[in-house]
Structure 1
Amino acid sequence: MTSSTPPLREAARAVVVDDDDDRVLLLRYDENGGFWATPGGSLEDGEDHSTATLRELSEELGIDEKAVELGAQLAERSKDHLVGGREVRQVEKYFLTRVSAADVDPARASQPDNIREHRWWTLAELRATAQTVYPRGLADLLTSVLTHGAPMRPVVLAG
């Protein structure tokens, strides 16, 4: 029996932290039993990860690109999963993104996809929740970033 590697799907994701309270913004989805995740999505033809991150923030949350302080790449994650009924190997790069909570306006979102809710989480709430949050290890990553700054090299997160 031979197994083949699913096609590669490159994605860019934002770890959105508000300017004032160091809260992180997560989006809730209903599929797969429901989960919370960072904003982001796949790269379009000719796009780099930074450009895709800014585009996704505009499309999903109505954030004006000029209001975004896009920081360093914090992490990377690779995971096989279904997209549109087809298995892919998604490789995600996570970028630190600072915005004011007032700059988030889902009413301006052009492609809200299946987002059911957006919510700002404190580190304490993130650590205490029993709900599924992706990427796994986000609370530890964010704690380290807020305490020590961005890592010298992107952290590899578990699937």
Structure 2
Amino acid sequence: MSDVIARRAARVLVVDETQRVLMFRGCDPAHPEVRFWLTAGGGAQASETLPETAARELAEETGLRVEPAALGEPVFEDVSEFSFNGRRYRQEQTFFLLRVPSWEVDHSGAGEVEHASVDMHRWWTTAELRTAPEPIYPRDLPDLLDRLGVG
């Protein structure tokens, strides 16, 4: 495997009025048998701020369009190391919280990579996340949601 690729990412915790968080079930295309759940978001382009990245990724992956300023201040930051499609990544990621009354997800703006690696979405309660049969990322998401007053 090649060198580790460093990248910045922005992710969005989309929470509806019933206190559920929107998650996507994905896989590494190199290992499609291994499934996991993650939030909306992705890698930053060179010219973007993290709120701009979060707003762009949210629109692409969900159809929900918001101004970057509507995301407010970050609520969490972490570093994730993972393999994807035969390459190693070290991703510094910043999370934003967005509360919505409800939302019908529209995947039509998602790119080729998302269409190849994401097969479904679901709204989860914090209790459901704690007992999920597949890994959840970030791993401490239920505790983070508790700290944010979700659930």
Give the alignment's TM-score, normalised by structure 1: 0.78
- Superposed, 1:8-157 pairs within 5 Å as 8-18=6-16, 20-31=17-28, 32=31, 33-65=34-66, 69-102=70-103, 104-111=104-111, 113=114, 114-146=117-149
Q: What amino acid is the match of 1:101? A: S
Counterpart position of 1:153: none
Counterpart position of 1:152: none
Q: What amino acid is the match of 2:76? A: A
Q: What is the alpha-carbon distance in structure 2 between the residues aligned to residue 24 and residue 117 of structure 1?
A: 14
C-alpha contact (below 8 Å) 2:35/2:135 kept by paired residues: yes
C-alpha contact (below 8 Å) 2:61/2:107 kept by paired residues: no
Q: What is the alpha-carbon distance in structure 2 between the residues aligned to residue 107 and residue 89 of structure 1?
A: 26
| CA shift for structure 1 position 136 | 0.5
SS in 2 for 1:101: coil
State the aligned residue count: 141
Q: What is the alpha-carbon distance in structure 2 between the residues aligned to residue 71 and residue 124 of structure 1?
A: 26
Q: What is the alpha-carbon distance in structure 1 between the residues aligned to residue 57 and residue 118 of structure 2?
A: 13
Percent identity, aligned pairs only?
Answer: 36
Q: What is the alpha-carbon distance in structure 2 between the residues aligned to residue 60 and residue 87 of structure 1?
A: 23
Query: Comparing 108-117 with 35-44, which one deviates more in the overlay?
Result: 108-117
For structure 2, the 5+ residue unaligned runs are none
RMSD: 2.3
| CA shift for structure 1 position 88 | 2.3
Counterpart position of 1:155: none
Q: What is the alpha-carbon distance in structure 1 between the residues aligned to residue 5 and residue 27 of structure 2?
A: 25
| CA shift for structure 1 position 125 | 0.9
